[in-house]
């Protein structure tokens, strides 16, 4: 089904199930331990052996030799796979460096072998006996230094930026930096692999089933139809599980060697250094404005690094769309670094870019003597600033900021920094706009009507803790006119129709639209079986009603199960409308005037993301994103060993993330809106919007509390302690 015009008589608009708050239907399984994660498929492979992956001990160079003798003779060892045993491997579409290294090494902790044994402990002990001799070669591990020899940036221009900026009566020119960050999800990368002849099945933790299946087939040089990938439950991903990782490949290679199912889970240090991370950025922002606050020149230049053949962190995305301005410059510069791969982490691009842009907007407002919200409102636009002929499908940024200001008590904020105290605490408020694009991805589903009237939905969509099971069930229930408990949802299996998958904030809107399309076909089949006009049939209360008769839904399947399958496609929708989500983040902090310690006191997010399919699951996503934003603002940073090329704090003891004590009351408000131009669901993504801008709101609040501006994230106390106002 192609979506190209707003739906007319749309069953979803009844909103008897969709749009209503429902607890996650997978919740009882998870809270009772019955949801089976990747490493827990014991029944499927009771004879499984265990693999332990060995990671490279250097960041760049070559393996001279590997002594496997002691490991091979260790108790319980069944086999060892290195690049030699693996033979010639291909390379998937989504991996920057080979998942199995040797003899060449591309980055620290690149997988170089897997030891397979009867037990995990035996595999780990034997792996420690492997002796590897390396020839280390110099690498580039320092972003600032690597940029000195990086090629010229890729630029996008509109108007005459330099001339307009030079002529502007008010100017800002500032440098902001964000660090490398880790996904730090709860569930590690884990896989159970089993071969049945030439057919491979992997139970793994992966956000994008079809991508993972295709890349595993390419890497193993086998047909895609010989691979089945299953991932029904995922213990967090944040973008780190978008792509095939070493656990899946090494489990498959190990299982092929020992002719038994093999389980592999990457250790926490390997999770950080073997997989992907959010890359560090250096961002220069220049803004020129008139005395009334109108932006006449804006430039955002971002630099980042990655492995050879990698790509940049697209931190200027939002600056191209968020604020008006006739003269514009954005650029991305990429340096080659020999650190582990930089790639997608929750809201890639905008999360880092908003941390810089939204501080810059506050700094510019201060130069102008304007309220930060008024400055943003002044430069709102209802069309794509780089393409005025393309309007936003819906844009309520101003309402988010103004409604949020009233709810948060912004009028009580003292614009003069370091003016409000509460005992030993300096208190401040900060604001930032929120922005994240909405993407539509072709998404399919299969819907079954059983003889007892139950509905079953099958799609390879995944649930990474976001509520996919629930909103898909709500969609099918609304379309087929049955209660929610009469719908069964099956996800995360490559034998099901290909869906959007979970990533890029495109999962909810796209996957439910695919279910909508399949349900439209099933409704047509049901109406046909009952002798009703599909255009007039009404599905509600477990019945189907037409002009002349009414019948139970189950009657349509009395001769046998009915099955319908379809996918939603989008045509040239992206060319017609700019689709984005908007919001406002408000934060109040306290800064200890003696120690510099920062405490977040309260937070508010106001979000405009089209129809909210389930307020309960959507709120959960937003408060999780807000929490991650606090981490990015105040504590999260991978420390790079610039001599040896690896992340030193590669576990949850050294890499700090927020805990319950760090997070105060969080309030989330969703604007009541439905965007009929983006999908039949009239919904857009929400999960990443909750993150974009939070870091800047925290940093702006710290400045308002202390008068100390920190442009280098995270905003740790050592960066402002010696500049705090003197204690009287």
Interacting residues of 32 by C-beta distance below 8 A, sequence separation 6+: none
| Number of residues that make up the chain | 728
> Would you give the end-to-end CA distance of the chain in angstroms?
70
Q: If DSSP codes are grouped into helix, strand and coil, which group holds residue 395?
A: coil
Q: If DSSP codes are grouped into helix, strand and coil, which group holds residue 641?
A: strand
Q: If DSSP codes are grouped into helix, strand and coil, which group holds residue 133?
A: strand
DSSP conformational letter for 332: E
What secondary structure does DSSP assign to 297-340, as a single string?
A: EEEEEEEEEESTT-----TTTGGGTSS--SEEEEEEEEEE--SS
Give the number of other CB atoms < 10 A from CB of residue 142.
17
Q: Is 505 left (phi over 0), alpha (psi -120 to 50) or beta?
A: left
How far CA 580 is from CA of 282, 322, 513, in Å, comes to 25, 10, 17
How far apart, in whole angstroms, are the C-alpha atoms of residue 525 and residue 80? 54
What secondary structure does DSSP assign to 180-191, as a single string?
A: -B----SS--EE
Tokens of 128: 């420690």
Q: Is 541 left (phi over 0), alpha (psi -120 to 50) or beta?
A: left
Interacting residues of 298 by C-beta distance below 8 A, sequence separation 6+: 161, 285, 286, 287, 288, 319, 323, 325, 327, 328, 329
Give the number of other CB atoms < 10 A from CB of residue 169.
10
Q: Could you tell me which residues are beta bridge partners of residue 132?
A: 66
Are the beta carbons of 461 and 511 closer than 8 angstroms? yes
Sheet holding 538-540, edge to edge: 538-540, 543-545, 550-552
Residue with tokens 């069953």: 11
Pairing state of beta strands 640-641 and 646-647? antiparallel
How far CA 617 is from CA of 351, 451, 575, in Å, comes to 21, 31, 31
How far apart, in whole angstroms, are the C-alpha atoms of residue 653 and residue 231? 28
Residue with tokens 């904030």: 505
Tokens of 161: 């930026």
Are the beta carbons of 230 and 492 closer than 8 angstroms? yes
What secondary structure does DSSP assign to 72-122, as a single string?
A: HTSTTEEEEEEHHHH-S----TT-SS-SB--SEE-STT-EEEEEEESSHHH
Q: If DSSP codes are grouped into helix, strand and coil, which group holds residue 194?
A: strand
Q: Is 688 a catalytic residue?
A: yes
Positions marked active-site? 688
């Amino acid at each position: 089904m192609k979506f190209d015009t707003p739906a007319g008589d749309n069953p979803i608009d009844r909103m008897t199930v969709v749009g209503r708050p429902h607890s996650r239907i997978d919740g009882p399984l998870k809270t009772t331990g019955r949801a089976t994660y990747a490493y827990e498929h014991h029944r499927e492979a009771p004879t499984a052996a265990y693999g332990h992956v060995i990671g490279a001990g250097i960041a760049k160079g070559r393996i001279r030799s590997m002594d496997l003798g002691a490991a091979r003779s260790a108790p319980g060892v069944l086999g060892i796979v290195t690049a030699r045993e693996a033979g010639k491997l291909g390379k998937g579409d989504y991996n920057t460096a080979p998942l199995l290294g040797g003899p060449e090494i591309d980055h620290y902790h690149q997988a170089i072998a897997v030891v397979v044994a009867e037990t995990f402990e035996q595999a780990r002990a034997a792996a420690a006996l492997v002796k590897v001799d390396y020839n280390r070669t110099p690498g580039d591990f320092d972003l600032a230094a690597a940029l000195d020899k990086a090629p010229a940036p890729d630029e996008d221009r509109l108007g005459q930026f330099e001339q307009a900026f030079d002529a502007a009566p008010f100017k800002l020119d500032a440098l902001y930096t964000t660090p490398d960050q880790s996904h730090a999800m709860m569930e590690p990368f884990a896989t159970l692999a089993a071969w049945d002849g030439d057919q491979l099945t992997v139970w793994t933790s992966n956000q994008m089933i079809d991508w993972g299946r295709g890349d595993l087939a390419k890497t193993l040089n086998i047909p895609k139809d010989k691979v089945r990938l299953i991932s029904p439950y995922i213990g967090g991903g944040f973008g780190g599980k978008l792509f095939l990782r070493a656990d899946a490949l090494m489990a498959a290679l190990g299982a092929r060697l020992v002719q038994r199912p093999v389980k592999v889970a990457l250790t926490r240090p390997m999770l950080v250094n073997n997989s992907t991370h959010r890359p560090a950025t250096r961002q220069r922002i220049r803004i020129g404005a008139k005395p009334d606050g109108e932006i006449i020149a804006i430039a955002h230049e971002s630099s980042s690094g990655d492995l050879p053949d990698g790509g940049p962190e697209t931190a200027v995305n939002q600056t191209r769309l968020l604020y008006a301005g006739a003269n514009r410059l954005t650029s991305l510069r990429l340096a080659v670094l020999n650190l582990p791969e930089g790639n997608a982490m929750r809201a890639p691009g905008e999360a880092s870019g908003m941390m810089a842009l939204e501080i810059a907007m506050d700094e510019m407002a201060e130069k102008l003597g304007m309220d930060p919200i008024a400055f943003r409102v002044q430069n709102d636009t209802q069309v794509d600033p780089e393409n005025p002929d393309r309007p936003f499908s819906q844009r309520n940024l101003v309402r988010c900021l103004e409604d949020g200001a009233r709810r948060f008590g912004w009028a009580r904020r003292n614009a003069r920094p370091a003016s409000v105290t509460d005992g030993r605490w300096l208190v401040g408020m900060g604001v930032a706009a929120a922005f994240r694009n909405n993407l539509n991805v072709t998404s399919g589903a299969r819907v079954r009507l059983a003889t007892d009237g139950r509905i079953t939905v099958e799609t390879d969509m995944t649930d990474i803790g976001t509520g996919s099971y629930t909103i898909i069930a709500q969609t099918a229930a609304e379309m087929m006119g049955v209660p929610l408990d009469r719908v069964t949802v099956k996800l995360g299996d490559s034998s099901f129709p290909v869906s959007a998958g979970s990533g890029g904030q495109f999962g909810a809107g796209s996957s439910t639209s695919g279910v909508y399309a399949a349900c439209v076909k099933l409704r047509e089949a049901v109406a046909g079986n009952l002798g009703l006009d599909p255009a007039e049939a009404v599905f509600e209360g477990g019945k189907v009603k037409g002009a002349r008769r009414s019948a139970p839904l189950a009657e349509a399947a009395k001769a046998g199960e009915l099955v319908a399958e379809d996918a939603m496609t989008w045509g040239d929708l992206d060319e017609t409308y700019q689709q984005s989500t908007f919001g406002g983040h408000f934060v109040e902090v306290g800064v200890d005037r003696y120690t510099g310690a920062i405490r977040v006191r309260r937070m508010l997010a106001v979000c405009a993301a089209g129809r909210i399919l389930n307020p309960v699951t959507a709120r959960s996503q937003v408060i999780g994103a807000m929490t991650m934003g606090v981490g990015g603002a105040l504590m999260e940073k991978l420390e790079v060993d610039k001599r040896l090329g690896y992340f030193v704090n590669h576990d949850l003891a050294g890499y700090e993330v927020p805990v319950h004590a760090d997070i105060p009351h969080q309030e989330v408000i969703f604007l009541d809106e439905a965007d009929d131009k983006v999908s039949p669901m009239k919904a857009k993504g929400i999960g990443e919007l909750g993150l974009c801008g939070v870091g800047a709101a925290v940093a702006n609040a710290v400045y308002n509390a202390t008068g100390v501006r920190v442009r280098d994230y995270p905003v740790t106390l050592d960066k402002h302690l010696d500049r705090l106002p003197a204690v009287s």
